Structure formats: C-alpha cells, structure tokens
C-alpha cells in the first residue's frame, strides 16, 4: 500500500440511535440485541484499503447523554470525520440532528461528515422517510447520506468507505 492516512472520527446522535451498534458491526461484524447505554466513550481503530491506500479510522463512540457534552467537546476537537446518526423509527432523533450538527461545528475543526439514518431493518416502524434524510443532509452540507442497519449490516461498510474516499481526496488536495 502506498500511504497511510489516519483520521479521527466521532459519532454524534441521540441516546439509543445505534451509534455503538454501528461501530460494533463495522469493527467486529457483530450485533447485540440488548441495549447497553454508552457511559462516557469508547475508542476503536479500523484500517481499510481504499484503492490501494491504507486508511486508519480512530473511532470515538461518545455517549449521547447530556452529561457527556464535555467529553464530546474534548474528543471532537481535532476530529476530521464524523457520523451524525439518527434512528429512522424515532422522529425526535432526526429533528435533533441540527443540534448535533451545531455541536460538531463548534467542537471540531471543520470535520467532514455523513448523515446516517439507522435501524432501516425496522421498516414497519419508520417515522423518517428517505427523502427527508437526504434533504437534511443537503441542508447541513453533509458529504453523504446513508441508511443503515447495524442489525443486518446494510449500508455500514459503504458509509465508512465513502467517508474514507472523501477524506483521502481532500487530503490529496492539501
């Protein structure tokens, strides 16, 4: 592989939208049905090959509870990438994305981010339509919008891979 790039990535979103499940599926290819709230933060690393270039993501999964705002501020600092995550079966989590976006803007150094609508395996409970997610992604200048299911793995690898591609492209321009 030619080069190695390392990017700090944070996940922001309401409690119980599936941030930890997305990371667990991406890193370990597993899914836990039982919900366990993230207390504080967890850090993971994943290397991927993007067209012959090695990219490492340092992934900071930070609890979505209000009391972890200081942690979000601390760990978003210096982040080059982010996933803003909502649950397609929970309209409130979608409506709060603008707040998470503002936090990302305030706490990070112009992070490149993707909007993720998770839990598409629960289609019968959907409260947020695909077009709404795509429209919001455009409104907040996300570089992409993906619908995912941590349970079935749908869209997970694609979202991280696309983010890595965009980050590499930006790195090669600077």
Residues 45-79 have pLDDT tens digits of: 999 999 999 999 999 887 655 655 666 566 667 88
167 or 33, which is more confident: 167
pLDDT in tens, 86-136: 999 999 999 999 999 998 898 887 899 999 999 999 999 999 999 999 999
What angle, rounded to 10 degrees, do the helices at 156-173 and 19-28 form? 80
Q: Does domain 4-173 have CATH number 1.20.1270.10?
A: no
User: What is the rounded distance in angstroms from the CA atom of residue 66 to the CA atom of residue 49?
Assistant: 36
Q: What is the pLDDT of residue 1?
A: 44
Residues 134-153 have a mean pLDDT of 98
According to DSSP, the β-strands at 41-50 and 53-62 are antiparallel
> Are 84 and 114 within 8 A, CB to CB?
yes
pTM: 0.90
Strand spans (E) along the chain: 4-12, 41-50, 53-62, 81-87, 112-118, 145-147
Which of 11, 14, 18, 16 is CA-nearest to residue 41? 11
% of the chain exceeding 70 in pLDDT = 84
Q: What are phi and psi of 24, to 5 degrees?
A: -60, -40
Q: Where are the domains of the chain?
A: 4-173
């Amino acid at each position: 592989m030619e080069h190695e790039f390392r990017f700090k990535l944070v996940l922001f979103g309401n409690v119980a939208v599936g941030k930890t499940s997305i990371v667990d599926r991406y890193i370990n290819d597993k899914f836990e049905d039982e919900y366990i709230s993230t207390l504080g933060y967890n850090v993971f690393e994943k290397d991927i090959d993007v067209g012959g270039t090695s990219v490492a993501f340092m992934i900071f999964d930070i609890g979505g509870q209000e009391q972890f705002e200081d942690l979000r501020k601390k760990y978003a600092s210096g982040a080059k990438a982010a996933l803003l995550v909502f649950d397609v079966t929970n309209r409130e989590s979608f409506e709060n994305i603008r707040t998470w976006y503002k936090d990302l803007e305030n706490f990070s150094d112009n992070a490149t981010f993707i909007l993720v609508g998770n839990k598409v395996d629960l289609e019968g409970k959907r409260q947020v339509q695909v077009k709404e997610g795509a429209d919001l992604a455009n409104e907040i200048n996300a570089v992409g919008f993906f619908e995912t299911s941590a349970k079935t793995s749908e869209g997970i690898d694609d979202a991280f891979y696309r983010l890595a591609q965009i980050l590499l492209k930006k790195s090669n321009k600077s």
